[in-house]
Amino acid sequence: MSQRVIDASENVQDVPTPSAGSGPVRIESDSLGSREIPANAYWGIHTSRALENFPIAKRPISVYPDLIVALACVKQAAARANLEIGVLEPHKVDLVDRACQLIIDGKFHEEFVVGVIQGGAGTSTNMNANEVIANIGLELDGHAKGEYEFLHPIDDVNRSQSTNDTYPTAVKIALAFSLKHLLDELGLLRDAFAKKSDEFRHVLKVGRTQLQDAVPMTLGQEFHGFATTLTEDHARLTETTWLLAEINLGATAIGTGITADPGYAAAACRHLNDITGLNLETAPDLIESTSDAGVFMSFSGALKRSAIKLSKICNDLRLLSSGPQAGFGEINLPPMQAGSSIMPGKVNPVIPEVVNQVAFSVAGADVTVTMAAEGGQLQLNAFEPVIAHSLLQSITWMTQAFRTLRVNCVDGITANEERLGAMVGSSVGVITALMPYIGYAAAAALAKTALLTGGNVADLVVEAKLMGRDEVTRLLSPARLSGLEAMTTAIPVIPLPVTGEPLDTHGEEGTRR
C-alpha cells in the first residue's frame, strides 16, 4: 500500500514539519546545534526536534484541549509561586501569567504540535509549552519571537520545574477536567434511560435467562435496570476524582526537589487550586509519586468498567430490536442510516454498534496503560505519554459515545407493545405465577400443552377448569407478573392429578413430585 493511501486512511490532523520551507525563518540553538524555525511559529527548536523524531501518531497533543489548558494552568501556578518565593522577577511573572491565561482561554492551542506518542517521558510536551508561552510573552512585551534573552523558555517559564513533575501533574488535571465532561454526559444518558423506564412502566414482556424464556417483567423494569447500572457507574467514576488529586509538583527531577525553593511545592499547589478550582494536594512522598503510575491504572480500570457495562447494555438493545420480522422485535431503535448497499430497506443498529467499538478500544487502552505502568524503571516512568494519550482518548471517545447513544438512540426508542403482549400471552413463563394455586404438576402439563399448541396460557387454564377467568386475569395482571404488586397472604395449593405426568411410586400409592 502506498504511503499516500496509508496517510489518508488514518484521517489524522495535519502537523507542521520541522523544516521551514520557503517562508521567513528565525534561527534557534540548543546544546545539539542550530536550526531554522518558521518565523511565525510560537514553538521553537526543542519542538522542532520532537516533530522530526516522533512522526508516529500524526496527532498533535492539541487534539486534547483539556491537556493544553492543564499545562497552562501548571505553568501559571508555577510562575505565581516563583513570584511568591522571590525567584522570578515580577515583570517576567506577569508576562508568563498573561500568556498562560490566553492559552487557558482557548487561544494558541494550534501551536501545541508535538505528537501524542513521544519518547522522553513528556519532555517534548513540556518544551513545547515552555516555548509557546515564552514567545507569547515576548510578543506581549513588544519583542520578536525567539528573543529569549528577554524571556527564556527554560530559565523563566520552566523555573523551579522539571518535566517529571509538571507533565504528570498536568495529565492528572487534564483527566480531572475531562472526567467532569464525561460525568455530565453519563448523567444525561442515565436520565434518558430512566425516562424510558417510566414510559414503558406498564408494558409487559417476557424476561429471559440464558437467552431462554423466563418469567414476565415490564419493559420499564428492564430499562430501569439500565438506568441503575449507569447510576452505579457514575458513582464509581466520581470516586476516582480523589485518585487524581495527589500531585508531585515541586518534586522536580526525581522527587528530591532539586533546583526548587523549599517553599515552592506548597505555594505552587495552593496557586494551582485557585486556578483550576480543584482540590489538589502535594504527595507526602514525592519520590514515590514521581516514579509510580498506579493511579493511572486504577483510573483506567474504572473507565473500562463503565465502558464494558454500557457495551453490555448496547448488546441488549441490539438483541431486543433485532428483526424486524425474524428477530426479537420487542423495541424499535430510531433508523439512522441505510444499512446495506445490497439489501434495500435494511436498517442496522449503528449507534449501539459504535458504542460497542468504543468499549473495545477502552479495554485495549486499559491494557496499554497497564503495560506502560509496569514498564517504568527506578525513579521515573518514561511511558507516561502513551498513558496520557490512552486515557484521554478513552475519556473523549466515551463522552462522545454517551452523547450519541442518548441523542441518536435512547431518546427515540419505542416499544412494540402488540408483539410484546402476544409473546407474554403465549409464553409458558407466566404459568410460574399460577403454580402456587394449581400445583407444579398441573402447571408443567399446561406449559407442555401451550408449547405444543401455541395456545394462550390463560385460556388453557380456564378451559381446563382449574380456575375462573376473573381469577386468572387477576393473577396474570402486569402488576403481579412483574412483582410490582406484592403477594402477602397465604396461598392454598390445589393438588390436581394430571394425566401423563410421572409419578414417584412408594409402596402401593404413588406420590406426585
The tens digit of pLDDT for each residue in 219-242 reads 999 999 999 999 999 999 999 999
pLDDT of 121 reads 92
Q: Which cell numbers hold the place of 244? A: 487524581
Mean local confidence (pLDDT), 137-148: 97
Alpha-carbon distance of 38 to 22, in angstroms, equals 9
pLDDT at 20 over 80: no
Give the CATH number for residue 88: 1.10.275.10
Q: End of a domain among 417, 441, 476?
A: 417
Give the CATH number for residue 179: 1.20.200.10
pLDDT of 452 reads 87
pLDDT of 21 reads 57
Give the CATH number for residue 479: 1.10.40.30
- Shared domain for 355 and 479, answered yes or no, is no
pLDDT at 249 over 70: yes
Q: End of a domain among 105, 138, 159?
A: 159
| Residue 265 maps to a domain | no
pLDDT of 423 reads 84
Residue 42 or residue 423, greater confidence: 42
Tens digits of per-residue pLDDT, 149-203? 999 999 999 999 999 999 999 999 999 999 999 999 999 999 999 999 999 999 9
25 neighbors 84 (Cβ within 8 angstroms):
no
pLDDT interval class at 348 (50, 70, 90): confident
CA 6, distance to chain mean position in Å, is 28
pLDDT of 487 reads 54
> Which segment of 94-103, 229-238, 268-277, 327-336 scores lowest on mean pLDDT?
327-336
Number of folded domains in the chain? 3
pLDDT at 7 over 50: no
Nearest to 356 by CA among 392, 409, 294: 409
Please provide the average confidence, as pLDDT, over all residues in the chain.
Answer: 88
- Shared domain for 150 and 176, answered yes or no, is no
| Residue 213 maps to a domain | yes
What percentage of the chain carries pLDDT values higher than 70? 89
Tens digits of per-residue pLDDT, 62-80? 999 999 999 999 999 999 9
- Shared domain for 306 and 218, answered yes or no, is yes
Alpha-carbon distance of 494 to 264, in angstroms, equals 82
| Residue 512 maps to a domain | no
Alpha-carbon distance of 506 to 511, in angstroms, equals 7
Domain, as residue range, for 498? 427-506
pLDDT at 103 over 80: yes
- Shared domain for 361 and 460, answered yes or no, is no
- Shared domain for 195 and 308, answered yes or no, is yes
pLDDT of 14 reads 53
Show which residues are catalytic.
340
| Residue 262 maps to a domain | no
- Shared domain for 147 and 237, answered yes or no, is no
109 neighbors 48 (Cβ within 8 angstroms):
no
| Residue 259 maps to a domain | no
pTM of the model: 0.85
Residue 380 or residue 396, greater confidence: 396
pLDDT at 497 over 90: no
pLDDT of 319 reads 95
Mean local confidence (pLDDT), 371-391: 93
- Shared domain for 478 and 329, answered yes or no, is no
pLDDT at 511 over 60: no
Nearest to 105 by CA among 139, 146, 143, 76: 76
pLDDT of 15 reads 56
Tens digits of per-residue pLDDT, 412-468? 999 999 998 888 877 777 788 888 888 888 888 888 888 888 888 888 889 988 888
- Shared domain for 485 and 443, answered yes or no, is yes
Strands 414-415 and 281-282: unpaired
pLDDT at 9 over 50: no
- Shared domain for 310 and 193, answered yes or no, is yes
The enclosing H or E element of 460 equals helix 457-463
pLDDT interval class at 362 (50, 70, 90): very high
Strands 246-247 and 281-282: parallel
Q: End of a domain among 100, 133, 159?
A: 159
82 neighbors 88 (Cβ within 8 angstroms):
yes
pLDDT of 448 reads 87
The enclosing H or E element of 510 equals strand 509-512
pLDDT interval class at 209 (50, 70, 90): confident
| Residue 3 maps to a domain | no
Residue 103 or residue 5, greater confidence: 103
Q: What residues have CB less than 8 Å from 100, skipping those under 6 apart? A: 72, 73, 75, 76, 79, 133
Nearest to 418 by CA among 203, 209, 163: 203
pLDDT of 492 reads 52
- Shared domain for 309 and 280, answered yes or no, is yes
- Shared domain for 150 and 171, answered yes or no, is no
pLDDT of 175 reads 97
- Shared domain for 150 and 184, answered yes or no, is no
Count H helices, E strands: the chain?
Answer: 18, 10
First to last CA, the chain: 70
| Residue 270 maps to a domain | no
pLDDT of 482 reads 72
pLDDT of 327 reads 87
Alpha-carbon distance of 134 to 156, in angstroms, equals 8
| Residue 230 maps to a domain | yes
Distances (CA, A) of 91 to 96, 131, 182, 254, 509: 9, 18, 39, 30, 105
pLDDT at 299 over 90: yes
Alpha-carbon distance of 117 to 405, in angstroms, equals 30
Q: Which cell numbers hold the place of 271? A: 496557586
The residue count for the chain = 513
Residue 325 or residue 501, greater confidence: 325
